[in-house]
């Protein structure tokens, strides 16, 4: 059985859509990505920090599907307000749990997926010495500009040098630009790969750009349609990492990630992915994807 470790905060999210307000929804990359991977029979380890305010029902649910590495209790859980009634969405950090340190992973595949600076970037080179590491950069490029309001902020070049020790690096278009300081996405990906990354990925609502050993892979699909976009990137990263570690086929991994994302947005909060629906969606995308 394949095993993957996900490092990052499990969160509680208040989500505002144009139709409804959702309170205390289970969130964070370990929840979305972890539960999606568990649906495929993957053994998922999670290194996180939870608060004593974390609901027991969510804890039982996570423990039934994932392996939570202890210790994981602190005074408060990381909480976000995610407002999708504006474009771009408004993100507010309501509370933050403790830093995840030290990290003592022994997994062969590790996903480093912080939500807001809970993982020290210097952990990446050490993890990369023993594991295939993928990094979702969102938590590294976020900045609190007051009252918890979160924006994406540029990083120094020294941070990119450290992150580039990973095998896979993914972010959305805005985050990838912040990581590299470049405006053109293809130039961004070239910069990341030149630093030593094997696969650099930039995602948008209906487009994925990848640079790997095979060259550029540009995929365009119909825009995501669903109830809520939260978790789509987490599931994409999880499925891409899983498939790439198996096949080293970036195109196939991207299609699986896109298929998982399209299923995730149909509901609010993480849920089990139906394998038959995943494979059907994968085949549909394979037949209909526009390769640019």
Find the angle CA(21)-CA(26)-CA(27) to the nearest 5 degrees.
95
| Domains in the chain, number | 1
> Which pLDDT belongs to residue 67?
95
The tens digit of pLDDT for each residue in 236-249 reads: 999 999 999 999 99
Mean pLDDT of 205-229: 89
- Residue of 81, 91, 89, 79 whose CA lies nearest to 142: 91
The tens digit of pLDDT for each residue in 46-81 reads: 999 999 999 999 999 999 999 998 766 778 999 999
Average pLDDT, the chain: 94
**CATH number of the domain enclosing 210:** 3.40.1190.20
> Which pLDDT belongs to residue 161?
94
Domain that holds residue 110: 3-291
Token pair 């997926």: residue: 113
3-class SS of residue 269:
coil
Tell me the pTM: 0.96
Asked if 210 and 200 count as a contact pair (C-beta separation under 8 A), the reply is yes
Asked if 168 and 134 count as a contact pair (C-beta separation under 8 A), the reply is yes
């Amino acid at each position: 059985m394949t095993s993957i470790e996900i490092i990052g905060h499990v969160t509680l999210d208040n989500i505002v859509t144009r139709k409804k307000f959702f309170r205390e929804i289970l969130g964070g990359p370990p929840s979305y990505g972890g539960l999606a991977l568990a649906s495929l029979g993957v053994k998922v380890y999670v290194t996180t920090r939870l608060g004593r305010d974390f609901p027991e029902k969510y804890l039982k649910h996570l423990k039934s599907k994932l392996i939570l590495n202890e210790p994981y209790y602190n005074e408060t859980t990381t909480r976000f307000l995610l407002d999708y009634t504006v474009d771009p969405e408004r993100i507010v950090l309501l509370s933050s749990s403790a830093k995840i340190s030290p990290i003592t992973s022994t997994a062969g595949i590790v996903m480093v997926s912080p939500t807001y600076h809970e993982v020290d970037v210097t952990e990446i080179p050490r993890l990369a010495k023993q594991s295939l590491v993928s990094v979702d950069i969102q938590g590294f490029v976020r900045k609190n500009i007051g009252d918890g309001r979160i924006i994406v902020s540029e990083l120094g070049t020294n941070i990119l040098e450290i992150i580039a020790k990973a095998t896979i690096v993914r972010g959305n278009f805005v985050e990838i630009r912040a990581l590299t300081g470049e405006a053109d996405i293809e130039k961004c990906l070239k910069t990341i790969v030149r630093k030593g990354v094997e696969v650099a990925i930039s995602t948008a609502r209906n487009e994925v750009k990848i640079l790997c050993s095979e060259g550029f892979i540009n995929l365009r699909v119909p825009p995501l349609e669903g109830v809520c976009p939260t978790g789509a990137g987490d599931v994409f990263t999880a499925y891409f990492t899983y498939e790439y570690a198996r096949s080293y086929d970036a195109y196939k991994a991207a299609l699986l990630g896109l298929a998982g994302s399209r299923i995730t947005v149909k509901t609010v909060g993480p849920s089990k992915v139906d394998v038959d629906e995943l494979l059907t969606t994968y085949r549909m995308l394979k037949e209909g994807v526009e390769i640019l």
